[in-house]
Amino acid sequence: MEIGIIGAGSLGLLFASYLSRVFKVTLYTRTEEQAMEIEKNGIILKKNTNRAQALVCALPLSKWEGTEDLIIITVKSYHLEEIIKNINRLSITPKNLLFLQNGMGHLKHLETLTGTQIFVGSVEHGAYRENAFTVSHNGEGVTNVAVFRGDTYVLTALIEAGPSEFPILMNDDFYKMLVNKLIVNSVINPLTAILGVKNGELIKNEYYFKNVVHLFNEISILLNIENPDFHLKKIIDICHKTAENRSSMLKDIEANRKTEVEAILGFLSEKANEEFKKVPLIESFYLLLKGKELGKGGLI
Amino acid sequence: MEIGIIGAGSLGLLFASYLSRVFKVTLYTRTEEQAMEIEKNGIILKKNTNRAQALVCALPLSKWEGTEDLIIITVKSYHLEEIIKNINRLSITPKNLLFLQNGMGHLKHLETLTGTQIFVGSVEHGAYRENAFTVSHNGEGVTNVAVFRGDTYVLTALIEAGPSEFPILMNDDFYKMLVNKLIVNSVINPLTAILGVKNGELIKNEYYFKNVVHLFNEISILLNIENPDFHLKKIIDICHKTAENRSSMLKDIEANRKTEVEAILGFLSEKANEEFKKVPLIESFYLLLKGKELGKGGLI
Chain B contact for A277 (CB, 8 A cutoff) = no
| Domain of residue B97, CATH code | 3.40.50.720
User: Confidence class of residue A126 from pLDDT cuts 50, 70 and 90?
Assistant: confident
Q: Once rounded to an integer, what is the mean pLDDT over residues A145-165?
A: 96
ipTM for this prediction:
0.89
Do A287 and A199 share a structural domain? yes
8 Å CB contact of B207 and A294: yes
pLDDT at B160: 96
Do A116 and A62 share a structural domain? yes
**H, E, C per residue of chain A:** CEEEEECCCHHHHHHHHHHCCCCEEEEEECCHHHHHHHHHHCEEEEECCEEEEECCEEEEHHHCCCCCCEEEECCCHHHHHHHHHHHHHCCCCCCEEEECCCCCCCHHHHCCCCCCEEEEEEECCEEEEEECCEEEEEECCCEEEEEEECCCHHHHHHHHHCCCCCCEEEECCHHHHHHHHHHHHHHHHHHHHHHCCCCCHHHHCHHHHHHHHHHHHHHHHHCCCCCHHHHHHHHHHHHHHCCCCCCHHHHHHHCCCCCCHHHHHHHHHHHHHHCCCCCHHHHHHHHHHHHHHHHCCCCC
Do B283 and B236 share a structural domain? yes
A120 within a domain of the structure (yes/no): yes
pLDDT 10s digits, A230-254: 999 999 999 999 999 999 999 999 9
Do B197 and B126 share a structural domain? no
Residues in chain A closer than 8 A to B195 (CB atoms): 194, 288, 291-292, 298
A43 pLDDT more than 70: yes
Do B122 and B44 share a structural domain? yes
Do B135 and B89 share a structural domain? yes
C-alpha–C-alpha distance, residues B76 and B293, integer Å: 15
A117 pLDDT more than 90: yes
| Domain of residue A258, CATH code | 1.10.1040.10
User: Confidence class of residue A299 from pLDDT cuts 50, 70 and 90?
Assistant: very low
What is the span of the domain harbouring residue B280? Answer: 177-290
- Are residues B117 and B149 in contact, defined by beta-carbon separation less than 8 angstroms? yes
Do B220 and B152 share a structural domain? no
Do A108 and A197 share a structural domain? no
User: Confidence class of residue B115 from pLDDT cuts 50, 70 and 90?
Assistant: confident
pLDDT 10s digits, A184-238: 999 999 999 999 999 999 999 999 999 999 999 999 999 999 999 999 999 999 9
Do A271 and A195 share a structural domain? yes
Do B110 and B85 share a structural domain? yes
A296 within a domain of the structure (yes/no): no
A31 within a domain of the structure (yes/no): yes
pLDDT at A178: 96
- Are residues B184 and B235 in contact, defined by beta-carbon separation less than 8 angstroms? yes
B33 within a domain of the structure (yes/no): yes
Number of domains in chain B: 2
**Nearest residue, CB atoms, B287 vs list A207, A290, A292:** A207
Domain end point (choices A155, A172, A189): A172
Domain end point (choices A140, A172, A204): A172
Do A203 and A147 share a structural domain? no
pLDDT 10s digits, B194-239: 999 999 999 999 999 999 999 999 999 999 999 999 999 999 999 9
A127 within a domain of the structure (yes/no): yes
Whole-number percent of chain B with pLDDT over 90: 93
Domain end point (choices B129, B153, B172): B172
A298 within a domain of the structure (yes/no): no
8 Å CB contact of A214 and B284: yes
Do A27 and A107 share a structural domain? yes
B67 within a domain of the structure (yes/no): yes
